[in-house]
Structure 1
Amino acid sequence: MRFRILGSPELYDDVRHRHIPLNAPKQRLLLGALLSHPNRTVPRETLVRELWGGTPPRKSASTLNAHVSLLRKALLEVEPERANAPRLVARGSGYLLEAAPEETDFGRFGQALDRTRRTAALDPENACTALREALGLWRGTVLEGGAHGPLCAELTARLEEERQQALELLFDCALRAGLHRYIVPELEEVTAAHPRRERFHDQLMEALCGCGREADAIGVYHRARRHLPAEADRTPLLTARLARIGARSLVPPAPDARPREAVRPEADHESVHSVFGYLAELLSGQVLLSPRV
């Protein structure tokens, strides 16, 4: 048995290799609400509020029981051998759904993320592979989006945050493995989808710098600041990244074999001073560039 909610909610029969879709919206919400607290009793009043909000039907108790019966029937279609030991049972003043973490797609995703966090620093390339496999469990938005009650909304927010953390870890591992140019398109896509997540912008700037595209990285800084808080100290990752780009530009090129004209020390001092002054203005937001696209 597999419970799948990272996309269109469905049950999967891993013995007969078949999908059992849940087409009724209330049935999907009921599954999400029960899986938000697996192996624990969810009160009937909570489930009624989850399915109908503040306007429950007149006979909400019997209507809820009908939806529970339909979901139980779908579960038994996947596991007919559990007819005498159903997963979904009445318990006290509510209902309980039995589901181990490895039997849910979001549980397997969380387990893979935890394992990879422990090994990422030592083996970034294999961590990239493991994270891509884990992210492949996502077939769309949690419970396929739509209107959710409090339990499903909380579950959706938690799982989306875990997904973004997995993406951050994936990109960190790819950068550590030297795969800068391969992840630039993905980072451009994810920064557009999550413009207020500073870490993604910082990773895109790092990837562009690793490709020798410092000017484009500075352009990312300016675009990100339109979405992030205006104060420079509220974007510490991007501010520090911009400073490193500026420091890199001050490193003198390697000497070549040809003689060069002598440069007056005071002129060289003025040049370096002007670059530092420009960088200070850039960090404070006084200078706006027209980034190369």
Structure 2
Amino acid sequence: MQFRVLGPPGIYDDVRRASVQLTSPKQRALLGALLVRLGTPVPTEELIRELWGNNAPDKAGNALQAHVSRLRQQLIEAEPSRANTPRLVVRGPGYVLQARPEELDSVQFRLQVTRAKRLLAADPRAAALLLRKALGLWRGPALDGGSHGPLCAAAAARLEEERLTALEDLCDASLRIGRHEEVVRRLEELVVAHPARARFRDQLALALQRCGRQGEARAVRRGAAHQAEDRTPVRTGNVRVLREPGSLRATEPVPAEPGAAGSGTAVATMEPAPGWPAEGDLVDGPGTQGHELHRLRVRVEELTSQQLALRSELQRLTALLEERVPARRRDSA
């Protein structure tokens, strides 16, 4: 059995080689919250907050219990041998989902990235293969379509940061093995999407320099120095490096290993999720407005992400205040 958080929360049945179909968005949100604390009890109050926020129904406890019961039954149907030892059980004041760490895709991702980091300096080619395999585990934004509560929001932010760091390491490995010409376009797109990440910009400048494009490399470095006050696009080739905040999703292209197509080595790949920009949509060729459209999409995604983060923080502070006020009243009494 595989449990997934690198994308929409989900369950994959290794035996049947099929995903377990979850019956409702609330069930997906519940699964995501339990997977964030895999093997650790999650209190009922936290789960209610993850599923309903400040709009919990009058009998939220009963509604939560019904969702838990349905999810437990689906897990048993996928693993009949565990009917007497279900994975999802009551423990203390909450619920716990039991699984081995290696059954969670985020653990697999971290293990492969850790191995790649150890190899990066000594064997960048092997490190690149591991990083491509790790990034291939992603099926979309972490915990996409699950809970927007503080528990899952914080976990999704941590995972996204780890994904971007892995992309930086992959670009580093590609530069170390002399793939600077192939990685330039990828880095241009990454700089467009993540202008605040200096490492992508430094890597782009280095790749351009190694390609003999000294003037463009200097322009990228000047852009980094004046990023705060200058929002004029820097053009490198047919791609404009825009200083606009935002984020690429799992369709960000991964530098290819030379000869990989005929090497017989299987490398995990991902299809673009519905509604995500394809690689070609990120290129601003002559006479097109692809980059302007992408810039606007990126801006909308950033504002949406900020709104969710602020909402989660507001919910957390509200819950904290609600816990403290009764305590003070008891003390004063």
Please report the TM-score for the alignment, with normalisation by the length of structure 2. Answer: 0.66
| 8 Å CA contact 2:32, 2:147 repeated in 1 | no
SS at match of 2:96: strand
Shift of 1:21: 3.1
| 8 Å CA contact 2:2, 2:14 repeated in 1 | yes
Range 12-21 or range 158-167, more displaced = 12-21
Range 96-105 or range 129-138, more displaced = 96-105
Shift of 1:39: 0.5
Matches of 2:162 and 2:210, distance apart in 1: 27
RMSD of equivalent CA atoms = 1.7
- Change in 2 beyond 3 A, CA 1:22/1:217: farther
5 Å-filtered alignment, 1:150-189, equals 150-189=150-189
| 8 Å CA contact 1:105, 1:137 repeated in 2 | yes
Partner of 1:137: 137
Partner of 2:221: 221
SS at match of 1:96: strand
Shift of 1:145: 4.9
Partner of 2:92: 92
5 Å-filtered alignment, 1:185-204, equals 185-204=185-204
SS at match of 1:195: coil
Range 139-148 or range 104-113, more displaced = 139-148
- Change in 2 beyond 3 A, CA 1:148/1:112: same
Partner of 2:105: 105
Matches of 2:206 and 2:39, distance apart in 1: 43
SS at match of 2:66: helix
Shift of 1:215: 1.2
SS at match of 2:62: helix
Shift of 1:176: 1.2
Matches of 1:145 and 1:193, distance apart in 2: 22
- Aligned partner of 1:122: which letter? A
- Aligned partner of 1:130: which letter? L
Aligned: 1:60 with 2:63? no
Partner of 1:13: 13
- Change in 2 beyond 3 A, CA 1:6/1:227: farther
Shift of 1:61: 0.5
- Change in 2 beyond 3 A, CA 1:219/1:146: farther
SS at match of 2:95: strand
Matches of 1:226 and 1:146, distance apart in 2: 39
Matches of 1:144 and 1:157, distance apart in 2: 11
Partner of 1:40: 40
Question: Identity percentage over the alignment?
Answer: 53
Matches of 2:181 and 2:11, distance apart in 1: 39
Normalized per residue, the structure richer in helix is 1
Matches of 1:78 and 1:146, distance apart in 2: 21
Aligned: 1:128 with 2:128? yes
Matches of 1:191 and 1:224, distance apart in 2: 10
Say how many residue pairs are matched. 230
- Change in 2 beyond 3 A, CA 1:205/1:25: same
| 8 Å CA contact 1:183, 1:207 repeated in 2 | yes
Please report the TM-score for the alignment, with normalisation by the length of structure 1. Answer: 0.74
SS at match of 2:143: helix
Shift of 1:101: 2.2
Shift of 1:23: 4.8
Q: Which residues of structure 1 form unaligned runs of 5+?
A: 231-293
Matches of 1:148 and 1:222, distance apart in 2: 39
SS at match of 1:12: strand
Deviations 1:244-280 (A, max 9, x none): xxxxxxxxxxxxxxxxxxxxxxxxxxxxxxxxxxxxx
Instruction: Pick the structure with greater CA Rg.
Output: 1
- Change in 2 beyond 3 A, CA 1:156/1:213: same
| 8 Å CA contact 1:196, 1:228 repeated in 2 | no
Partner of 2:326: none
Shift of 1:225: 4.8
Partner of 1:116: 116
Deviations 1:133-178 (A, max 9, x none): 1100011111225761001001101100110111111111111111
Partner of 2:237: none
Matches of 2:143 and 2:71, distance apart in 1: 15
- Aligned partner of 2:22: which letter? L
